[in-house]
């Protein structure tokens, strides 16, 4: 199995736990403050990771302004998305809705992969997009 698969499993577990903890926190903290705590602790976690790389002599971090700008846009999306999840939970949205919401995001990513990055548009991938969007639509019922 490809090494990236295990990183995918780890990311899925961490992002799943992320939403569970956001749901638990949303009853006890404001959306803006909660989002700030989430992103602040995330920043410290990444800073610790960079420190490990630096002090272990495994620093291979490149930097370009294009990369910086795209990373900044990513940060805006993550920050706003975190606040949106806090608001969703504070307004009574169920934790069970999160997989369909994330599947909607996955559908957006799949379409972007096909359109902008010229990834193959197999019938399985397109069916996945349709099913993901259907799940998101079904949330409102």
Which residues touch 101 (CB under 8 Å, ≥6 apart)?
88, 136, 139
Question: Predicted confidence band at 141 (pLDDT cuts at 50, 70, 90)?
Answer: low
pLDDT one-digit tens code per residue, 40-62: 999 999 999 999 999 999 999 99
Q: How far is CA 16 from CA 1, 8, 56, 61, in A?
A: 22, 12, 30, 27
Which residue in this structure is represented by tokens 């976690």?
Answer: 45
Q: What is the pLDDT of residue 96?
A: 86
């Amino acid at each position: 199995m490809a090494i990236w698969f295990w990183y995918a499993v780890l990311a899925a577990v961490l992002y799943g736990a992320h939403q569970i903890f956001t749901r638990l926190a949303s009853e006890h903290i404001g959306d803006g403050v909660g989002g700030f705590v989430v992103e602040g602790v995330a920043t410290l976690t990444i800073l610790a990771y960079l420190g490990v790389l630096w002090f272990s002599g495994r620093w291979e971090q490149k930097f370009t302004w294009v990369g910086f700008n795209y990373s900044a846009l990513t940060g805006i999306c993550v920050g706003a998305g975190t606040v949106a999840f806090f608001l969703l939970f504070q307004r009574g949205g169920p934790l069970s809705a999160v997989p369909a919401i994330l599947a909607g995001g996955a559908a957006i990513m799949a379409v972007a992969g096909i359109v902008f990055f010229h990834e193959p548009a197999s019938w399985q991938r397109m069916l996945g997009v349709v099913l993901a969007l259907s799940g998101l639509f079904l949330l409102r019922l």
